Amino acid sequence: MFPAAYRRARKLADTRSGSLLLGHIVSALQGLLLLCLVLVVGMLLDLVIRRGVVTFDANRVTELRMPRQPRWIQQSLGESTAGPVEVVNTGLYPFVEAHHASPNPIHRAVARGLDWILRRSVLLRENLGALKALLALMLGLIVAASYAGLWRRALATSAAGAIVSSLRHQIHRQIYRLGQSALPSEGAGPVVDLFARDVNDVRDGVVTEIDHAVRSPVLVVGLLVLGLLASWQVTIFLLALAGLVAFAVRPLTAGIRLEADAAARDSAVRLCLLQEDLAMLRTVRVYGMEGVDRQRFEHHLHQFQSDDAQRMRAEARSVPVLLLVIGTATTVAIGLLGYLLLNGALAPATAAILLFVSVAMIPPILSWQELRRALRQAGRSADAIFKFLERTPELKQAVGAQFLAPLKQRISLENVSLEGPNGRNLLSGVSVEIPALSRTAILSLDESSKYALACLIPRLIDPKIGRVRMDGLDLRDVTLESLRAQVAMVLQADLVFNDTVFANIGLGDPSYGLPRIIQAAKLAHAHQLIQELPNGYDTPIGAFGHYLPVDALYRIALARASLHDPSIVVIEEPTEHLDEDVKSLIDDTIDRLAAGKTVIFLPHRLSTIRKCDRVVVLHNGRVEAHGTPREVHGQSKLYRHIQYVEFNQFATGEIEAGQMG
């Protein structure tokens, strides 16, 4: 399942550019360049170990002066007739002499090719010249491989960027299509995780794939071939030894890993308990629980330290196990190479090359393991993303939907039931009528139920059962555009964007000029405070902009609602304590905004409830009471309880200590 989801995500880059395929090609090219670099290092090791010395048997001097030998070698042999003859400072020629008669046909072919180069290059015939040439070639290959790496990473960034951009656009569109995302009971957290963490996992998987999926196998295969060419018997033995180590390490460390994971889970639980002890400090002091809390804290701290120590001991035990197995295997490998060297069965240069190849294989093998982990995580994240994208939208506009005119009669909720994303009943059999041009307050101990009822009005969500009508028209039978043109919402969680004041009030609509925006700001008593900002209406506000108090942000949101010119306004009052002057400004703004409109309040002040024409009290998703404030006060014990707990004048700051009497 997960590989299929990841492959589906990869196609988003394939359809938009060829950077993914080209990235793999460049990655393979970089692998080949690195292999060439390894070959050059091998030749350099051979040069340093042999030191350009070739030893001939003087008894075969006449034979050695055959045309097979280069003229510059024949001249170096001199007239010696007995004993060994050493020819020094011959550069790379000792490799040719050592392999021209090798039983390995590939060795013979390489020797002939190098001999052909030496006959045409004077520089490579002497040690210093060969050293300079090999070092220059190494530097050139390093530069070329580095630039190939930069090119590969640029292509990986382009391919991953195309995938990330496409996925985030799809998630953004899906958020608009899914009505339940408007409910605070679900919140934005899961979608934010998809948008940020899971999409980034897919991105990292693509980048890691381009980095290692082709290059690592090219390097491993190339290094294996180089080792086999140097000595196939020793290479096969080393491969078998490495396989035996891998086979032995896995079962030996499996139990240790399980024990470490269990201890890590236990220590995480203890850490949560410690955090709870710290968070409950206020309650501890109020109730005089310092002694008990100190004992609890000491107990939790001791358990945490014990579990964490057990985790570290378990992880530490894996180190000597790995060291023992790998150290034993390394000792065997070095012992074999030493034995072959001492018995003359293996040349020092060949042993050095085999050792270098063995070390050089470690990075690509580790990179391959990193690739597997990244692709597994990317597959899981891609699967979660596509499951979200494949969710069926709850909001659909009917074919032939009607245009909705401004509200003139009433909003009717008829036997409305609604469940939250977690299956909890938010509304159950709610039947309410809200007359046009009235003020209605929605009260409940459950915030989600209040939000659910409010979100039904602009059809951010649809009821599972029942209907919502405006002037007799089912909201499912009207166009979303005409419906939402009639509704404005001012909610505490959505007061302003991270943008300029001008864009926040004008909604980014170019048809709203500065004079209309200033007029709306004046209606909301926000014009003066905006003028005092560093750049006036062009000042950025929001979490990353210029700081404004909540009441200022609230007035800017009211100005936006006024400019929208709706027939229905849903307003949630600020929960923060406000000064009397600020309250008066906000009350005046709401009075002016509500003129000729239907207003639905989610109130947090008793004075606001008293100004309403009617109150709807919800309890367990049902209408517990409905009527004027005076009627509901006499009918509903729950209303009186809410009024006492949440709306008493001391709690809201409407009456301060010392003002009674």
Listing DSSP states for 66-118 in one string gives STTS-HHHHHHHTT--SSEEEE---TTHHHHHHHTT-SSHHHHHHHHHHHHHH
Closest CA to 20 of 11, 29, 28: 11
Dihedral (C-alpha) 224, 227, 233, 235: value to the nearest 10 degrees? -60
85-89, 434-438, 441-445, 479-483: which has the minimum mean pLDDT?
85-89
Quote the strand ranges of 491-596, DSSP E.
499-500, 540-541, 568-572
Range of lowest pLDDT (40-44, 268-272, 489-493): 268-272
Q: What is the DSSP letter of 597?
A: S
Q: What is the pLDDT of residue 319?
A: 66
Confidence band for 160, pLDDT divided at 50, 70 and 90: confident
pLDDT reading at 314 higher than 80: no
Average pLDDT (39-45) is 83
- Higher pLDDT: 251 or 124? It is 124
DSSP state of 197: I
Helix (H, G, I), strand (E, B) or coil at 160: helix
pLDDT tens, position by position, 518-528: 999 999 999 99
Buried/exposed 195-206: b ≥16 CB within 10 Å, e otherwise? beebbebbbbbb
Residue 561 in tokens: 């609602």
pLDDT cut 70: percent of the chain above it: 84
* Residues 69-128 pLDDT 10s: 566 665 555 555 455 666 677 777 787 777 776 676 766 777 788 778 877 787 887 888
Of 253-267, 412-426, 473-487, 536-550, least confident by mean pLDDT is 253-267
Q: Would the pLDDT of 600 be above 60?
A: yes
Distance separating the N- and C-terminal Cα atoms of the chain? 72
**CA–CA separation, 439 and 246 (whole Å):** 74
User: Residue 71: what pLDDT?
Assistant: 61
Q: Are 572 and 605 in contact (CB under 8 A)?
A: no
Task: Give the DSSP letter of residue 533.
Answer: S
Query: What's the rounded Cα separation, in Å, for the pair 327 and 545?
Result: 58
Distance CA 600, CA 571 (A): 6
**Confidence at residue 325, expressed as pLDDT on a 0 to 100 scale:** 74
Strand bridging mode 439-444 / 614-619: parallel
pLDDT of residue 22: 87
Helix (H), strand (E), coil (C) string for 328-396: HHHHHHHHHHHHHHHCCCCCHHHHHHHHHHHHHCHHHHHHHHHHHHHHHHHHHHHHHHHHHHCCCCCCC
Angle at 635 between CA 631 and CA 641, to 5 degrees: 105
**CB 386, CB 5: distance < 8 Å:** yes
> pLDDT band at 598, cuts 50/70/90?
very high
Mean pLDDT for 553-582 is 90
Residues 135-139: contacts with CB under 8 Å, at least 24 apart? 135/44, 137/40, 138/37, 138/40, 138/41, 138/44
pLDDT band at 66 (very low <50, low <70, confident <90, very high): very low
For residue 231, the model assigns a pLDDT of 77
Percent of the chain with pLDDT over 90: 22
Q: 88-102, 392-406, 489-503, 588-602 — which is least confidently predicted? A: 88-102
Q: What is the mean pLDDT of residues 184-190?
A: 55
**What pLDDT is recorded for position 49?**
81
Instruction: Indicate the pLDDT class of residue 423, thresholds 50, 70 and 90.
Output: confident
Distance in angstroms (rounded) separating the CA atoms of residues 495 and 571: 11
Output 393 or 614, whichever has higher pLDDT.
Answer: 614
Mean pLDDT check: name the lowest of 439-443, 619-623, 653-657. 653-657
Query: In the prediction, which pLDDT does 79 show?
Result: 54
Encoding tokens for residue 425? 């009943």
Overall pTM > 0.75? no
605 or 261: whose pLDDT is higher? 605
Mean pLDDT over 265-294 rounds to 66
Residue pLDDT, tens place only, 328-372? 877 888 788 787 777 777 777 677 777 778 888 888 888 888 888
From 427, 497, 495, 423, select the one nearest 455 (Cα to Cα).
427
φ/ψ of residue 448, rounded to 5: -65, -35
Alpha-carbon distance of 100 to 110, in angstroms, equals 9
Lowest-confidence pick of 213-217, 398-402, 427-431? 398-402
Chain centre distance of CA 427:
36
- Checking if the pLDDT of 652 tops 50, the result is no
Instruction: Compare 466 and 162 and report the one with higher pLDDT.
Output: 466
Residue 373 has pLDDT above 70, yes or no: yes
DSSP-based three-state secondary structure for 31: helix
Tens digit of pLDDT for each residue in 459-493? 888 888 999 999 999 999 999 889 988 999 998 88
Q: Work out the pLDDT band at 659, boundaries 50, 70, 90.
A: very low
Helix intervals (H) in 15-83: 19-50, 61-64, 71-77
Tokens 């396989």 sit on residue: 243
Average pLDDT, integer, range 271-282: 64
What's the whole-number average pLDDT of the chain? 81
Q: How many angstroms separate the CA atoms of 563 and 558, rounded? A: 9
Cα–Cα dist 176/391, whole Å? 12
Name the residue among 583, 602, 613, 612 with its Cα closest to residue 642. 602
- Lowest-pLDDT range, 322-331, 403-412, 457-466, 494-503? 322-331
**Cα 302 to the center of its chain, rounded Å:** 35
Distance CA 186, CA 394 (A): 15
- Min mean pLDDT across 96-105, 506-515, 633-642 is at 96-105
